[in-house]
Amino acid sequence: QVQLVESGGGSVQAGGSLRLSCAPSGYTYGSDCVAWFRQAPGKEREGVAATYTRGDGRTYVADSVKGRFIISQDNAKNTVYLQMNSLKPEDTAMYYCAAESEVMCSKRSWFYSAEYTYWGQGTQVTVSS
């Protein structure tokens, strides 16, 4: 059973930056699709970004955060990151890491939460104006 552990959330003022980390417990990323989702109170879960851990560096980023958020991975640390820059109050949400093993991320479906079997517990990001 893959367990994903997120870290790096916190409170920041608008315009600030945070970097979230997602590391699996008892598992090494191989050929997996790893994504970040977020959910604000009263809103649906939203796909933020995804990456294929054995890929060619191709990533997917939601239009709502494009140009501000970057997803990346460090194979040596077995960790996927979400660098969040120029944060806005509307970025306030619980952020979740999700993974599906042995599959490539699909351009047409990476943002659907049903695509992922493994989920972390979430890390809260709060952006104040």
Task: Give the model's pLDDT for residue 123.
Answer: 98
Length of the chain in terms of residues written: 129
Amino acid identity at 104: M
Judge whether residue 59 has pLDDT over 90: yes
Q: Is the pLDDT of residue 110 over 90?
A: yes
Task: Check whether 56 has a pLDDT greater than 80.
Answer: no
Reference 113, options 3, 39, 37; nearest CA is 37
Q: What angle do CA 109, 112, 115 make, to 5 degrees?
A: 80
Identify the pLDDT of residue 47: 98
Confidence of residue 30 (pLDDT cuts 50, 70, 90): very high
| Per-residue pLDDT reduced to its tens digit, 74-108 | 999 999 999 999 999 999 999 999 999 999 999 99
3-class DSSP state of 78: coil
CA distance 112 to 129: 30
Q: What is the pLDDT of residue 9?
A: 97
- Residue 125 class from Cβ within 10 Å (0-12 exposed, 13-18 middle, 19+ buried)? buried
Q: For position 57, what pLDDT does the model report?
A: 77
Q: Say what the pLDDT of residue 58 is.
A: 84
What is the average pLDDT value for the chain, to the nearest integer? 96
